[in-house]
C-alpha cells in the first residue's frame, strides 16, 4: 500500500523553521551589535521567586520545581517556602554587596504572601517580572484564548494592586500556548523570558506590537545543574564564567550578546552554596567587559544599538 502524498504535506514548513514570530537567520549573517556602554556581554540574572501550591493538579504537566511526592508534600513545599523567606534574602545581599542588578520573576500569588520581599527587591533597585499566577497555572495549547486572556489580565491587576507595573513576563515552567505572545502584548508586556533562540534579544511579531524575547539559558540554571544533574557548585560557577569568557571571545565577530541564567532561591540560597554564588557574582562584577542589568534595561539597550 503506497503512502498518501498528503501525509508529507506540511503547510507551515518554511526556510529554517515552521513559525513566523521572527525571521530565521544564522548568527554569522547578523550584523554585530555595539552597545552604547561598550559592554561586550550583558549578564541577565533572573531570580525565580515562584509560589508552588502544595496540592498541584499537575495539568498538563507538573512544574519541574513543584511538588514531588503525594499530597501533602510538606518536605518540598516547605523547602520552596524557605527559598522565598530565607534563601532569597541571601541572594539579595550578595547582589547588593557587588552593586549588581537582576530581574526577580515573581508569581502573582506570592505578592500578598511576601510583601516584605517585594519591598526588598524594589528597594535594592531590581526589576520585577511577572512569573504567571503560580507554579501550577501552566499556559499550554489546550487553553481557550479568552480564558488565557482573562488569566493574564487578572495577573496584571494583582501586580498593579501591589504597586508594581511589570513589563517583563516569564511563564510558569516557561511554557506558552500559541496565543500567549499576542495576549502578553495585549496586556502591556513588552519583554518575555520563555524563549532562548539566540544569544541576543529577538523581536517577536505579535498582534499588538513587538515582544522582545531575551535568551534565558536553561542549561545554566542552578536547579538544572545542581539538583537534576547533581553537579558540584564549583562546576556550576565555572560553566557560567566560561560561558561569559567565550561570549567575550565572540565579540569582535558577532558583537555584544546576552548571558542569561536563573537563580532559584531554594537552591542557590542555601547556606552551603552562598560561597559559590559569591564567587560567581565576583566573576561577573570584576569583569569590565560585562554589564549586569535587568531584562527590560538590557532589551532597551539592544533595541537602541546598531551594528
Query: What is the reported pLDDT for 9?
Result: 78
Domain presence at residue 109: yes
Ramachandran bin of 290, using left for φ above 0, alpha for ψ from -120 to 50, beta for the remaining angles: beta
> Residue 17: its pLDDT value, please?
79
Contact call for residues 130 and 169 (beta carbons, < 8 A): yes
pLDDT recorded at residue 6: 77
SS (H, E, C) 143-206: CCHHHHHHHHHHHHHHHHHCCCCCCEECCHHHCCCCCHHHHHHHCCCCEECCCCCCCCCEEECC
Phi, psi at 128, each rounded to 5° = -110, 125
As a whole-number percent, the residues of the chain with pLDDT over 70 amount to 99
Based on the structure, what is the number of domains in the chain? Answer: 1
Q: Which three cell numbers stand for residue 98?
A: 557587588
User: Tell me: the pLDDT tens digits for 92-131?
Assistant: 999 999 999 999 999 999 999 999 999 999 999 999 999 9
Contact 157, 175 (CB under 8 A): no
Question: pLDDT tens, 134-179?
Answer: 999 999 999 999 999 999 999 999 999 999 999 999 999 999 999 9
Would you say residue 298 lies in a domain? Answer: yes
**Residues of the chain scoring pLDDT < 50:** none
Domain of 46: which CATH number? 3.20.20.370
Does 102 map to a domain? yes
Residues 6+ apart with CB under 8 A from 194: 169, 170, 171, 174, 175, 176, 180, 213, 216
Strand 168-169 versus strand 103-106 pairing type:
unpaired
Q: Answer whether residue 15 is part of any domain.
A: no
- Model-level pTM? 0.95
Report whether the peptide linkage leading into residue 72 is cis, meaning its omega lies within 30 degrees of zero. yes
Residue 12 within a domain: no
pLDDT of residue 1: 58
Domain hosting 277: range is: 35-303
Amino acid at each position: 500500500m503506497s503512502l498518501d502524498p498528503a501525509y508529507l504535506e506540511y503547510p507551515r514548513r518554511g526556510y529554517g523553521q515552521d513559525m513566523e514570530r521572527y525571521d530565521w537567520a544564522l548568527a554569522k549573517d547578523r550584523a554585530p551589535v555595539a552597545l552604547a556602554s561598550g559592554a561586550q556581554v550583558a549578564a541577565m540574572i533572573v531570580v525565580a521567586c515562584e509560589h508552588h501550591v502544595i496540592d498541584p493538579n499537575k495539568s498538563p504537566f507538573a512544574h519541574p520545581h513543584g511538588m514531588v511526592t503525594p499530597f501533602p508534600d510538606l518536605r518540598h513545599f516547605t523547602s520552596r517556602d524557605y527559598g522565598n523567606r530565607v534563601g532569597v534574602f541571601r541572594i539579595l545581599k550578595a547582589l547588593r554587596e557587588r552593586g549588581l542588578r537582576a530581574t526577580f520573576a515573581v508569581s502573582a500569588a506570592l505578592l500578598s504572601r511576601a510583601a516584605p520581599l517585594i519591598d526588598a527587591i524594589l528597594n535594592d533597585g531590581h526589576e520585577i517580572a511577572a512569573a504567571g499566577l503560580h507554579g501550577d497555572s501552566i499556559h499550554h495549547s489546550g487553553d481557550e484564548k479568552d480564558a488565557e486572556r482573562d488569566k493574564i489580565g487578572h495577573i496584571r491587576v494583582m501586580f498593579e494592586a501591589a504597586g508594581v507595573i511589570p513589563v517583563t513576563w516569564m511563564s510558569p515552567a516557561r511554557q506558552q500556548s500559541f496565543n500567549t505572545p499576542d495576549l502578553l502584548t495585549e496586556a502591556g508586556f513588552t519583554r518575555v523570558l520563555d524563549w532562548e533562540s539566540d544569544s541576543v534579544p529577538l523581536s517577536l511579531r505579535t498582534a499588538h506590537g513587538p515582544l522582545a524575547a531575551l535568551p534565558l539559558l536553561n542549561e545554566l540554571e542552578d536547579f538544572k545543574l545542581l539538583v537534576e544533574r547533581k553537579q558540584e557548585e564549583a562546576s556550576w560557577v565555572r560553566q557560567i564564567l566560561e560561558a561569559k569568557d567565550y561570549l567575550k571571545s565572540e565579540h569582535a565577530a558577532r558583537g555584544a550578546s546576552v548571558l542569561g541564567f536563573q537563580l532559584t532561591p531554594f537552591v542557590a540560597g542555601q547556606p552551603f552554596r552562598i560561597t559559590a554564588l559569591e564567587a560567581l557574582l565576583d566573576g561577573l562584577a570584576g569583569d569590565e567587559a560585562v554589564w549586569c542589568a535587568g531584562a527590560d534595561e538590557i532589551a532597551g539597550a539592544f533595541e537602541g544599538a546598531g551594528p
